[in-house]
Amino acid sequence: MASAMHPDDLTRRCFEFACDAYDYCEHLIQLKGLAARVGYQLWDAASSVGANRVESKSSYSDKEFAAKNAICLKESRESLFWLRVAERKNLGDVTKRQSLLRESNELISIYVTIVRKLQVKL
């Protein structure tokens, strides 16, 4: 359950998601053409999830904390979009892609819960 997750666990998951996306995207970029563009777009979104997670931990206000977590949700959803494109076009390693798809869906669920709870507080 997302509410029982320790904040450091979520930070670690976001970091691992970015590292796993890096490995997957590195392969897509080697494919050249449109597959490479998908790789770059996915990398931008997936790495932003973790970066904004880290930034949220040093927020100056509740409003800034909520905004950073909303960005994490947005970037998780964008990551899912690019992974779905990769899935439809059968790009890259299927095992890595499906693992990333599962994790992006889980991150979306976690961040939806966080953002909803923060909206109630504000």
Q: What is the pLDDT of residues 10-30, one digit of tens each?
A: 999 999 999 999 999 999 999
Task: Tokens for 82, please give them.
Answer: 């690019």
Contact by Cβ (8 Å): 47, 22: yes
Region 59-84 average pLDDT: 96
pTM for the complete prediction?
A: 0.90
Least Cα distance to 55 among 3, 116, 97, 14 occurs for: 14
State how far Cα 56 lies from the chain centre.
Answer: 14
Domains in the chain with CATH codes: 7-121 (1.20.1440.60)
